[in-house]
Structure 1
Amino acid sequence: DPIEPIPQTERIEVPKSMLGRGETFALRVKGTSMRDDGILPGDVVVVQKQDMARNGQTVIALLNGEATIKTYHRKAGMIELHPANDTMTPILVHETDTFHIEGIVVGVIRHLKR
């Protein structure tokens, strides 16, 4: 899984500047698919909950029951989810797939190891 929920017992300080209008939530990144955009394993992404996205926005999406973080692109009626990692290929969303945008990534929180 590329992302995981933050346990309810863990508290995360989110800067007010990352909190827009509406509901936000946080997820921990597990994979390297967005590394070239500076989103690394162990990072926490702050997500504004919404079910629509514009081209080029980084989204949290559910694809066939699996949560993923990718850059959203829609062209000619097709949806593509692009990784920011040149060793990985874009995911094409087909009509037979179950697809839903959970939200837009609005910030990244990283704790540096001491």
Structure 2
Amino acid sequence: MKTKKISRMELARESGVPYTTIVNFYEKGTDNVKLSTLRKLADYFNCSLDYLVDDEYGSNSPLVETDSMVLLPIVGKISCGDGVFAYENIEGYEATPKEWLNGGDYFYLRAKGDSMIGARIQDGDLLLIRKQPEVENGEIAAVLINDEAVLKRVYRNGDQLVLQSENAAYPPIFCPPTGATIIGKLRMVTIKF
């Protein structure tokens, strides 16, 4: 609340969590808070559930947004209903320099497998994705196929999407117009050592 410079009343109004719950949780330290309430607060503050309830983090937590950093979710599973994407499994949050972001909404996916090694994308790499429904031919994008996000080079062949791996061991995937949905464009691969 100090970082966002808001009062308890403003937090209640903006997060949808009752004022008395906020007072009990923050001031009295009650541990009897519903998981749904914690999720609302975590979503509002863009932090993990652990950050809200674990004393180990304290005020020195790396999970605090600043003027130069923003927290973005690392998404484990994405679903799409009525054209609206839902993050069903958020593995955590990654502090990201605001200078990496150029308007729009962003999130991270974790690379799985070796299908994009030709583009220097390794299993486990964090992939910064900018949400957008279209990409240019040949750009690398996150594409949703049956509630699974895959990272491929995207080409259009009429109405059909052709999804190409960057590994000769994997054949292209040909998707009819309703068989795949572009989630967003790959903006950056982050590698931690």
TM normalised by structure 1 equals: 0.83
Identify, as 1 or 2, the structure richer in helix: 2
Conserved? CA contact 1:4–1:28, under 8 Å: yes
Q: Please tell me whether residue 91 in structure 1 is matched to residue 173 in structure 2.
A: yes
Q: Please tell me whether residue 103 in structure 1 is matched to residue 184 in structure 2.
A: yes
Q: Please tell me whether residue 57 in structure 1 is matched to residue 139 in structure 2.
A: yes
Conserved? CA contact 2:159–2:176, under 8 Å: no
2:146 and 2:108 map into 1 onto residues whose CA distance is: 21
* AA at the equivalent of 2:192: H
Conserved? CA contact 1:26–1:45, under 8 Å: yes
Q: Which residue of 2 aligns with 1:82?
A: 164
Cα offset, 1:4, TM superposition: 3.2
2:102 and 2:167 map into 1 onto residues whose CA distance is: 28
Name stretches of at least 5 consecutive residues in structure 1 with no aligned partner: none
- After superposition, give the CA deviation of every residue in 1:6-45 in whole Å (9 maximum; x if it has no partner): 51xx332323343121100011111111111011111000
* AA at the equivalent of 2:147: G
Identify, as 1 or 2, the structure richer in strand: 1
Q: What does residue range 1-114 of structure 1 map to in structure 2 within 5 Å?
A: 4=76, 6-7=90-91, 10-95=92-177, 97-112=178-193
Alignment: residue pair count: 107
- Which consecutive aligned stretches of 4+ in structure 1 deviate over 4 angstroms post-superposition? none
% of aligned pairs identical? 30
For the aligned residues, what is the CA RMSD?
1.8
2:93 and 2:176 map into 1 onto residues whose CA distance is: 37
Structure possessing the higher radius of gyration over alpha carbons: 2
Conserved? CA contact 2:154–2:161, under 8 Å: yes
* AA at the equivalent of 2:127: V
Q: Which has the higher contact order (CA 8 A, sep 6+)?
A: 1
